[in-house]
Amino acid sequence: MRTGVHICRGNWSRKEEVLLTGDYAPLLDFFESIKVDQMVLEYATPRAGDIAVVAKALASREIGLGVVNPRTSTAESVAAIVEQVEAALAYFRPTQVFLNPDCGFGCFANRCVNDELTAVAKITNIAAASRILREKHG
């Protein structure tokens, strides 16, 4: 069984300006010290900073790469997801990279940040991007 830790900057509001902002640099010692297989990280928002920041700390771990923002109404394109993952391949091997949204689509039952149709569109594009990436890098 695989274990992971998910970290984000808040997912209760669509107002980006109320959610936390800053890269993972202050948490790198923590990343290196905990005994889990994977860190599941927000990376679809600029508030999360650059992927290079976590590269060294996660060199021998998996990264659950956030490739879609759960709080927006438009699905990220397959091409944009592929491009983001390929940028991460400068630091990670294909087997280290999982593709996931930045966070859940409804962490608080009566404060869900999206609707089902949009959520379906977003995960459909994640799966499509993964198929392309496997063809190209498999």
Partner 1 sequence: MFTTTQVGSWPRSRELLGALREKNKGRMSPQAFNAVADGETRRCVQHQLDAGMDVIVDGEQRRDNFYSFVTDKLDGTKLMSLADMLDTLEDKAGFEEMLDTLDVPASAIRNPTCVGRLARRQPLAVDELRFVQQLTDKPVKVALPGPYLLTRSMWVGAYTRKAYSDKLELGQEVVRILREELQELAAAGCSFVQFDEPVLTEVVLSEECDRRTFM
Q: Interface with partner 1 includes 18 (CB under 8 A)?
A: yes
Encoded one letter per residue, x for contact with partner 1 by CB under 8 A and - for no contact, window 60-79 reads: ----x-x---x---------
Q: Interface with partner 1 includes 22 (CB under 8 A)?
A: yes
Q: Whole-number minimum distance, CB 52 to partner 1, in Å?
A: 18
CA angle 22, 28, 30 (to 5 degrees): 115
- DSSP code at position 16: G
Sequence-separated (6 or more) residues with CB below 8 Å from residue 108: 12
Query: How many angstroms from the chain centroid is the CA of residue 123?
Result: 12
Q: How far apart are CA 58 and CA 52, in angstroms?
A: 10
Q: Whole-number minimum distance, CB 49 to partner 1, in Å?
A: 10
- DSSP code at position 88: H
Q: Which of 132, 68, 73, 136 is nearest to 103 (CA)?
A: 68
Q: Contact region for partner 1 (CB under 8 A) — 32-40, 53-61, 72-80?
A: 32-40
Q: Contact region for partner 1 (CB under 8 A) — 26-34, 51-59, 72-80?
A: 26-34
Q: What residues make contact with partner 1 under the rule CB under 8 A?
A: 1-13, 15, 18-22, 26-27, 30, 36, 38, 40, 64, 66, 70, 85, 93-95, 97-112, 114-116, 119-120, 123-124, 126-131, 133-134, 137-138
